[in-house]
Amino acid sequence: MTAQVIARCVGQPPEFWDTGDPGNRLALQLCAVCPARRDENCLVGEPDRKPFGVIRAGVAYNERGGRCPTCDCGYPVDDLPDARRQLTGCRHCRVPKLRSWDSTFMNRQAYQAKRWQTRKAKAKAAA
Ligand SMILES: [Zn+2]
């Protein structure tokens, strides 16, 4: 084996290999076809015994060092696992809940009534 293996990441912005970067998809694809990759080890770069928050040899690691699954779109699902919430897809695929009023916070009418009472009490105190 020759030592003159040119890794695919050479010349690319290194932040692409930081988990959470918009370049993560390209980084994973480059690692997948890289001649310097041996299974889950990278022959170039500094050896990382416990990688976290980075992509190494085609595997994305989250901030705690856990492996991120890859979304259908090609980006790693870099959210930390949390049993309390069900996550589907990566942050690029997830559709945010856009509503003018968050009803889990408080009923809109109840909130308005409370605000009115507060304002009325303030005006009364000032008078
Ligand atoms: Zn996705």
CA of 71 to the centre of ligand 1 (A): 5
Q: Is residue 62 domain-shared with residue 7, that is, in the same domain?
A: yes
Q: Is residue 80 domain-shared with residue 119, that is, in the same domain?
A: no
Measured distance CA(56)–CA(86) in Å, rounded: 27
Q: What is the largest CA-CA distance in the chain?
A: 89
Q: State how many domains the chain has.
A: 2
Pick 10 or 98 by higher pLDDT: 10
Q: Residues with Cβ within 5 Å of ion ligand 1?
A: 71, 73, 75, 89-90, 92-93
Q: Is residue 113 domain-shared with residue 89, that is, in the same domain?
A: no
59: three-class secondary structure by DSSP:
strand
* Percent over 70 (pLDDT), the chain: 96
CA of 81 to the centre of ligand 1 (A): 16
CA of 8 to the centre of ligand 1 (A): 23
| Domain boundaries, position 121 | 100-127
Q: Is residue 92 domain-shared with residue 104, that is, in the same domain?
A: no
Q: Is residue 5 domain-shared with residue 58, that is, in the same domain?
A: yes
Structure tokens of 65? 């060092």
Residue-wise pLDDT for 11-66, tens only, equals 999 999 999 999 999 999 999 999 988 888 888 877 777 889 999 999 999 999 89
Q: Is residue 6 domain-shared with residue 45, that is, in the same domain?
A: yes
